[in-house]
Amino acid sequence: MEAPVRFIDATLEPLLSGANHSFEAGSVSEIVTRGEDECAFFVKACTGIARLQGGKIIVLGKELGTLSRDALGGIRSRMGVVHPGGGLISNLKVFENVTLPLLYHSAGSGPEIGERAAASLRRFGWKGDLFDLPGRLSTFQRRVVGFARAIAMDPDVVVYDRLVDGLHGEERDLFLRTAFAFHKEKPGRVTICVTSRAGSISGDAPAAVVHLTKGRFE
């Protein structure tokens, strides 16, 4: 079976320089970069926002660099991305942020979409106001809402940008427990955790640790 995510001689300066790596179906990987900027850039490369200067990134059988805007949107609908700051739209309420991708991709009827969004938030024991704007939320709450939005789409590939950076104790445990329970719910799901802190998820999942050094995976 072809790996769901593959880097083939991928070049994108200064991040990638002829990089090769395959993320196999069902795998959990921790990608260790040199810093936060590289983490964010890696996520942009994985989702086709940053286009390569050479080589290929193939996600779910499609080469990102060759896709039209609509086709790329179709691939992104099968990917979940969790940003450290939540990546929320500031003028949309909590519930609207979570339901937005479901509505955009017509993932069910109105009531079904509402229930999927609510179920995603319930995973975190959400007790906040569903009608708050992001500006009124704590950093942890914004990350929870972004996390809930990503998993509501039941993606085949999940990319976590610094999943637990800045979190401690119960907050960290909640995120890791939720992430790895979610990973197991869909056979073949690929989970990629990008961090600049090696070992940030060690001991919590059988993750392959891969360092991105001098543009190559090691």
In this predicted model, what pLDDT tens digit does every residue of 184-211 receive, in sequence order? 999 999 999 999 988 777 655 667 999 9
With a CB cutoff of 8 Å and minimum separation 6, the contacts of 49 are none
Domains of the chain and CATH, by start: 1-78+189-218 (3.40.50.300)
In this predicted model, what pLDDT tens digit does every residue of 39-74 receive, in sequence order? 999 999 999 999 999 999 999 999 999 999 999 999
What secondary structure, in 3-state letters, does 24-49 show? CCCCEEEEECCCHHHHHHHHHHHCCC
Phi–psi pair at 139, nearest 5 degrees: -60, -45
Residue 97, exposed/middle/buried by CB under 10 A (0-12, 13-18, 19+)?
buried
